[in-house]
């Protein structure tokens, strides 16, 4: 009986591993097309560019984590001719329901071009309001040299009433993106 269960588990593991490898490229393309693509268009909507940021994407190395693994980030450049006018990349922060994935766009001076919430697990009707334009539009064209803060902490951005963890999670993700902007800009130049 134990041998039969071990064989079934082993075969299931092999099938799952094979399926994962076979569908990896398709899943990445769907992530780009249906999640990141609309977010990139949203955060770069106020910029004038003539390229396809998804096609021109590249990876930037940001060093290593605590275990010595490389930290890499995919950057989506918006170009007018050969000049980069803006860029977008993903960041994340912890909200009430878990991780909040945010696409953050920057103009060439390092100001926020826009913010788009890609994925989250926040409470519907409360924390999920971080997706609403009334919240995300506050970040458009915001100067962020010293980071972003909610108004309750002395900043310019109004948080969502009853969803402070969610609001702080978005701000945390944006501040992570702001912190790595100089390194990304250096790599891009």
DSSP 78-108: EEETTEEEEEEEEEEEE-SSSEEEEEEEEET
Tokens representing 185 are: 């800009």
Average pLDDT over residues 86-93: 96
pLDDT at 175 over 80: yes
pLDDT band at 1 (very low <50, low <70, confident <90, very high): confident
Domain ranges within the chain, ordered by starting residue: 37-188
Closest CA to 115 of 39, 35, 176: 39
pLDDT score at 63: 85
pLDDT band at 176 (very low <50, low <70, confident <90, very high): very high
pLDDT at 136 over 90: yes
**Spatial contact of 47 and 40, defined as CB atoms under 8 Å apart:** no
Tokens representing 82 are: 């050969």
Average pLDDT over residues 146-173: 93
- SS3 label, residue 71: strand
Average pLDDT over residues 107-124: 94
Task: Please list the residues that pair with 59 across neighbouring strands.
Answer: 74
pLDDT at 166 over 90: yes
């Amino acid at each position: 009986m134990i041998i039969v269960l071990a064989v079934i588990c082993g075969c299931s593991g092999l099938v799952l591993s094979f399926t994962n490898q076979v569908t990896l490229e398709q899943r990445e393309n769907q992530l780009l097309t249906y999640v990141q693509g609309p977010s990139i268009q949203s955060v770069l909507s106020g910029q004038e560019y003539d390229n396809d940021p998804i096609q021109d994407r590249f990876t930037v190395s940001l060093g290593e984590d605590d275990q010595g693994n490389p930290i890499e980030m995919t950057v989506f450049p918006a170009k007018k001719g050969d000049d980069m006018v803006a860029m977008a990349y993903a960041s994340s922060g912890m909200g009430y329901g878990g991780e909040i994935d945010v696409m953050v766009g920057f103009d060439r001076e390092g100001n926020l071009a826009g913010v788009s919430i890609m994925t989250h697990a926040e409470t519907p009707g409360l924390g999920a309001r971080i997706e609403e334009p009334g919240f995300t539009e506050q970040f458009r064209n915001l100067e962020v040299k010293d980071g972003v803060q909610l108004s309750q902490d002395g900043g310019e951005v109004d948080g969502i009433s009853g969803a402070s963890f969610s609001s702080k999670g978005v701000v945390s993700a944006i501040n992570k993106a702001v912190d790595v902007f100089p390194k990304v800009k250096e790599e891009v130049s």
